[in-house]
Structure 1
Amino acid sequence: MFVTTVIIALVLTVALMILNIILSKVSSQDRYIIYMPGVVLFATGLLLFMIATMAGKIEITGLGLGGWGIACLFASAIQFTVTSIVDTSTHS
C-alpha cells in the first residue's frame, strides 16, 4: 500500500505542476493564485484523513481514504515547496 500511496502522490504532484504552469501563464500580477490548487488539495487531504479516522475501512482503487489523504498532503507539500522556489527565483 505504501507504493500505491507514493504513486498516487506523484501523479497528483505532476497534475498540480501542470496546473501551476497554466495558471502562472494566465495570471497577470496576482501571484497568489498559483498557490490555490495546493491549498485545495491540502484541504482535501485533511478531509479524507479525518473521514478515514471516523469511518470504517473505505477503499478506493485498493487504497483506503487515509492513504488518499496522505497522498494529497504529500503532493500539496511538494507543490508548495516547488512553487515557492520557482516564484522566488522568478521575482528576484
Structure 2
Amino acid sequence: ALAGVLAAREQAQAAALDALRRREWVLAGSVQDVYAEAIAARLIVHDLDATAGRPLRQFRTLPPYPFPAQGDDPSVGAAAADTAEPRGDNH
C-alpha cells in the first residue's frame, strides 16, 4: 500500500514539475518579447535624437538575458544590451 501511495505521490509531483516548467517557458518567452521591445524602443528614441541633432539619451542597462543559470554568477552570461549606436553628422 505504501509503495502505491509513494508512486502516486511521485506521479503528482512529476506532473506539477512539468506544469511549472511549461509555465517557466511561457514566462521566459514573455520576458524575451518585452526585452526585444525595450531594445527597439531605445533604438527609435536614439534615431529621433539623432534626427533632431540632440545627444543620444542614456538608458539604464538592461539586465542580462537570457538569464544566467541558477547558481551562476549574475554578472556572467549575456551582457547588458548597449543600444547606443555611433552616429555620423547628417547635416
TM-score, reference length from structure 1: 0.39
Question: Higher strand fraction: Structure 1 or Structure 2?
Answer: 1
TM-score, reference length from structure 2: 0.39
Question: Higher helix fraction: Structure 1 or Structure 2?
Answer: 1
Q: Name which structure has the greater RCO, CA cutoff 8 Å, separation 6+.
A: 1
Structure label with greater radius of gyration? 2
